[in-house]
Structure 1
């Protein structure tokens, strides 16, 4: 077997003979072998003696060389060196591999003429780049051999220069091929060789622009600017600045036209709508206004190695991850599973939205990329269900994504979840949420995701539960430097900050710095032109107070008819408290629930009398308004058609109150019947709602509790209606009418899916679409009901064909009624959008049901029956598909106005607060400018 020798000189020198590691006893022996292997030539003994023993004379130097050769031959044997009386070198016929020689051979295509590399050459050069893992003889020097050290330095610099050239050629070649991921990878490695190399920064900006990652263009230029200022005290070269400005001018937001959407599949349309919502809600709503400000600051990141549990920590070296230039680099370094930590106000949410902007651009360019979705974990605290179930419900509520589509996308890894708000829940919930997130990631094959949290809150949760997130990396958003602070404020304010240690420490937070700039900036100077800063010691609470006053005053100067300052602060105080109670970070007006009616101004008051008023109001008045035309139309139909039943309850009950005119007597009687039934249902629902509150189980839909409530409600309606009808009519008729009333009541108010607690009373809806599954299900129910009444009609007149027509008409009507579903994703994002959609759904459903059923019944039976059928099913469809939600929402708004919690024109007040830079619009919702500001408003009155 032929002996082989492997010499590795990239990094600290290593030797291996026949695969077995060797260690030479002398550093001079290692140096001699390195010199001979790199040169590949024979060298005179005198030259080598001078190189390695410069302080010795010729006799002693040659003697030391002979001794060193004996050490090498003892370890390697005689087959690798050529040695005679005059020269020494490596034997070219020996099986000897030198990584430096291999590297030069692999990189040789990139060192030739400046032209695009072929595919074979790219593969060869890429192998050379992968081989270069450390500099030549890194950490190896000879203290008494300056000439050898100089030779080693020249070799190292030459190899680094060749590597830089190869990386540049690879990046340019892949740029021409529009393979931007590969080009960015090699351009970043080129930049890592010299962080101050401006051509590498310029190439990265060009690649980001061509890839549509415009935020990365800005971040790359800011990183270069900060680095040059910190290291050299100079700005970027004019050519680099001109390139950056040119790229900024070319930036366009590519929004697909609306007309081609008709050619998309329903799933593609839904994906496009979701990306548009993400872009409008977060990028345009939150990030773009900040970027437009001159004071927008490029945040610096720091890699943290012990914050997460890397699944491959035992195999991979994860402690030498380079410092990321921006949040997208951190995301890539963490293999698309990242934890973002930072102090309050450090810019965690902004960084998360910046990352979403990157990922949206990638998803728009490549349909195989997952769509980023920002979700706030604060709402998980009350539900404490699987992350997958909770995420689907959040997408339904926040983005109007159909549940089935959301579940499908999650199962197929078509979504990249970006979680914010882990620190916005109670500590005990936070530890449970860490475990739930780890479980979710394991069940989805270590799915890509990002989590944001305050550093102190996360560290406390880890210490408490001994559980860390199972992600691939973590970064900490560093406090602002003094240079960043000085560049972001006016000279006058900078002088004030740097003369006050407390203010300077507060200004290290981007949020606090922005508030200081707005509260004590140039627009607030005294008569001498200096910035007004109170002599009272500045605290965070005082700063927030001054900020709120200045922002409201500034907006009041712009608007003539503005609300009083106290009214704005009181309403925002109420809103902040309610959002904290309901674990919400985004306030959507359509998500107002009866639980918001609870009196929170006094901590002891949990009687919820406003909520009971709401139940009595909606269950009685709403059922009376919608149930009266339904019940009256149905009774008229069975009176004028087979079985030809005369219901005496209508005339007898109305006569007791002196109402005898037709048809008002029937309408009045049905109104009283439904009103009384609704009052009883209010009591039943109130008991269930209170029971679920005491169980702390009112934040999610519980199927078992729902069925129990459904059974109790149905029995209440059936028994109450049977009792009232039986006072004047026979028991069978009374029971039949009561069953029909119960069925209509359950269908109209959706007890199977929502209305189970104070917090799940109203549910967000999407625009109407068609569902064959539900059409068949409700169509079968219609056939059963039609068979029941047709049997009665057939018993009275077997010769009449109307019982067959009744089956046809009723089954067709219920088929249409069930097929209409509020599931299609809407792309609009105005405030209270869900209620507007519900109202339009009700109108559309009423028209779609009433018109065809009226025509069908009118043609097959008679005109009067057709009109009555249209009223019956049109009203039922309107109630099922939105009118009940609209009425409930308006009831809550009315009661909140009576309780002085919100004004009548609530959206106007929220818009005013957003214009005052206290709130911020996010799509159709509102968020406080920062969670610290929300906490400040929640504590105003209590303090």
Structure 2
């Protein structure tokens, strides 16, 4: 049963030149006022004859939420700056929530508001949206979701175990907020936010209801059009599976959820950090999920390994796992089992999984996720596509005309991905006649898209089209073979090379390293027997053992995996772990292995 909403007091502050926008913003908040959810106050409601500063200060003390409408004029106003500093003090005291609303372009991240997340959540200023009404409407939705969250104790009142832990959390919140904002802006590429349809699919997951009531093979139930992913997440007791067909916007939806959960973590010091992780890399070694999460935190988000392990162990991480479908078919059921095992061990940690629908359903023949709810992202309707193209105006007028002539286009752009590709490729340009067959049409669109992106680089000699197509195809094939959905240069390994070049790499690197380090270790170990022994016995045995070390590298007995190293320190424990029983027979080689392992540990 839905709880009754309590009444909230909202205070909005803006610079004098932005008063017309303030009036428009209050108009969008008016339906919530009529419903009795909130009251809105701003300087537009100042009482004549009363002291301005006194009225504003009284309203700030009574407010539940402060909305600062940011612009260059806001930061140029001494009065606005004074009010902002006072609002930050109230926010830090835990008596009020503070939300920056990005009205016009301004470098607000350089201000004292940098630790907060702004609305709209895509980071695009309201005035730069194609439709400002849509921008304000999106902000209203985010305000409503914020009211649904419990008011946490203030961050300043919460004292972590140590000041360093507190600093690490604040630093990570800023990093995640910035990353998700940039990623979401890049995903949308200036396009308006599309409200994606969602449908419940109860039989996609296992839970108490499905087991007790045998509620299998239930039909999908469409959710109301205005239902947000955050609302679905909360109603699912923060255990959610997101399904959809390729390109329907699952990952963008997950990114939107991550950003909203970061905002929640900024106001609730006990709430875990929402971290998006690509699941595809799990299939390489198939470790326990908690170990894999710690490793990915370190590799992707550049967190020290000890800190990432601590956060996972202390349940300070909220995993948002994307790309279950990106690993090979045999690995998916095993991965689902690993996720279920992790979830049983960390029952109080929220969890979100994202996957393509067909691949997940195939895996459920062997394993099924144990979660509270699942939703399926729906394809775009023809009405949504038509409204989007019309809304874009003259930029896509030729493309819209082509849609009227070529009905196959409607079938191809039923996903936000393809609609975005069409917009980027053909906006502001004349569209030549496109093929009517779907396979030919799809191929032509991708070629035109790559050509357009290459031309944007401005150097046709550096990025010629045909070699670029070849390079991208090779890179896509390699990433698929190595279960990667995001390309990181530091994760390149020797097995990406063709077989012949990989053999050359092993023969050149392995023996060369062994023959250089072997004699050095041999000389050092031979010094215990005297200078002459060091020059003769140590050098000879060092060369032999170094060669043996190199051959072990060549034959694959020693790992050739490249691992980024955070810090170079000596560890006696690891040195002793790499000594073997034949120490006295091959001691220089054993010392070489122990020496390198002790120094080069990641």
Q: Does 1:384 align with 2:286?
A: yes
Q: Compute the displacement of 1:594 (Å).
A: 2.3
Alignment correspondent of 2:468: 568
2:543 equivalent to 1:680: no
Offset of 1:441 from its aligned partner?
1.0
**Which residue of 2 is the match for residue 743 of structure 1?**
591
Structure 1 residue 210 displacement after superposition: 6.2
Mapping 1:367-378, distance limit 5 Å: 367-378=269-280
Task: Give the counterpart of 2:239 among 337, 342, 351.
Answer: 337
RMSD of aligned alpha carbons = 4.8
Query: Cα distance, 1:708 vs. partner?
Result: 13
Secondary structure of 1:346's partner? Answer: coil
Partner of 1:441: 343
SS in structure 1 of the partner of residue 186 of structure 2? helix
CA–CA distance in structure 2, aligned partners of residues 595 and 709 of structure 1: 28
Paired with 1:174 and 1:438, the residues of 2 have a C-alpha distance of 47
Change (3 A) 1:570 1:238: closer
Q: Does 1:491 align with 2:397?
A: yes
Determine the structure 2 residue equivalent to 1:503: 409
How far apart, CA to CA, are the structure 1 residues paired with 2:530 and 2:122?
A: 78
Following the alignment from structure 1 to structure 2, what is the Cα–Cα distance between the partners of residues 426 and 398?
22
Deviation at 1:618, TM superposition (A): 2.5
Of residues 400, 418, 432, the one that matches 2:320 is 418
Separation in structure 2 between the aligned mates of residue 361 and residue 348 of structure 1, nearest angstrom: 20
Partner of 2:434: 534
Deviation at 1:372, TM superposition (A): 0.8
Mapped partners of 1:408, 1:238: distance in 2: 42
Are 1:168 and 2:37 counterparts?
A: yes
Verify the 8 A CA contact 1:493 1:520 in the aligned structure 2.
yes
Structure-2 separation of matches of 1:361 and 1:169:
21
Equivalent pair of 1:620/1:675 in contact (CA under 8 Å)? no
Q: Which ranges in structure 1 are unaligned for 5 or more consecutive residues? A: 1-9, 11-105, 117-162, 181-205, 227-234, 248-262, 526-530, 600-607, 654-668, 700-705, 721-737, 751-879, 886-943
- For 1:486 and 1:175, locate their aligned partners in 2 and report how far apart those are by CA, in whole Å: 47
Name the CA distance, whole Å, in 2 between partners of 1:178 and 1:624: 70
Alignment correspondent of 1:518: 424
**Match of residue 646, structure 1, among 531, 534, 549:** 531
| 1:488-539, Cα deviation, whole Å (9 max, x unpaired) | 441221121233221111111111112222333432x2xxxxx213346342
* Residue 593 (structure 1) aligns with: 493
Determine helix, strand or coil for the equivalent of 1:427: coil
Distance (whole Å) between structure 2 residues aligned to residue 332 and residue 488 of structure 1:
30
In 2, Cα distance between equivalents of 1:677 and 1:242: 67
Is the Cα contact below 8 Å between 1:520 and 1:532 reproduced in 2?
no
2:27 alignment partner in structure 1: none
| Alignment match, 2:155 | none
Verify the 8 A CA contact 2:236 2:372 in the aligned structure 1.
yes
Cα deviation for residue 448 of structure 1 reads: 0.7
Q: Deviations over 1:220-265 (max 9, x none)?
A: x99xx99xxxxxxxx9989967997xx9xxxxxxxxxxxxxxx973
Gap runs ≥5 in structure 2: 10-31, 42-58, 67-95, 102-115, 144-160, 390-395, 564-573
Higher helix share: 1
Contact 1:359/1:372, CA 8 A, preserved across alignment: yes
The answer to which of 509-518 and 419-428 deviates more is 509-518
For normalisation by structure 1, the TM-score amounts to: 0.44
Residue-by-residue CA offset, 1:566-618 (whole Å, 9 max, x unaligned) = 33333323322221121111222222222223x2xxxxxxxx45444333323
Contact 1:620 1:674 in 2 (8 A): no
Q: Which one of 267, 270, 274 corresponds to residue 168 of structure 2?
A: 270
Q: Secondary structure at the match of 2:240?
A: strand
SS in 2 for 1:407: helix
User: What SS does the aligned partner of 1:306 have?
Assistant: helix
Deviation at 1:340, TM superposition (A): 1.0
Q: Flag the 1:216–1:341 CA change in 2: closer, same or farther, 3 A.
A: farther
Cα distance in 2 between the residues matched to 1:115 and 1:615: 67
1:453 to 343, 351, 355: 355
Question: Which stretch shifts more, 401-410 or 440-449?
Answer: 401-410
Q: Is the 8 A contact 1:689 1:698 kept in 2?
A: no
Say which of 308, 312, 337 aligns to 2:205: 308
Contact 1:395 1:406 (8 Å CA) reproduced: yes
Q: Residues 645, 472 of structure 1: CA spacing in aligned structure 2 closer, same or farther, 3 A cutoff?
A: same
In the aligned structure 1, how far is the partner of 2:333 from the partner of 2:270? 34
Residue in structure 2 matched with residue 55 of structure 1 by the alignment: none
Residues 392 and 719 (structure 1 numbering): CA distance in 2 closer, same or farther, change over 3 Å?
A: same
Q: Which residue of 2 aligns with 1:357?
A: 259
What displacement does 1:624 show?
A: 4.0
Q: 1:626 to 1:276 in 2, by over 3 A?
A: farther
Question: Residues 276 and 322 of structure 2 are in contact (CA less than 8 Å); yes or no, is this contact kept in structure 1?
Answer: yes
- Aligned in 2, Cα 1:566/1:622: closer, same or farther, shift over 3 Å? farther
Counterparts of 1:610 and 1:709 in 2: how far apart (Å)? 33
Shift of 1:688: 4.9
Structure 1 residue 634, shift from structure 2 partner: 6.7
> Structure 1 residue 312: deviation in Å?
5.0
| CA distance in 1 between partners of 2:228 and 2:134 (Å) | 23
CA distance in 1, matches of 2:136, 2:178: 31
Distance in 2, Cα, partners of 1:165 & 1:627 = 81
| Residue matched to 1:933 | none
Cα drift, residue 541 of structure 1? 3.1
1:747-766 equivalences under 5 Å are: 747-750=595-598
Aligned length: 474
Post-superposition offset of 1:674: 4.5
Give the structure 2 partner of residue 905 of structure 1. none
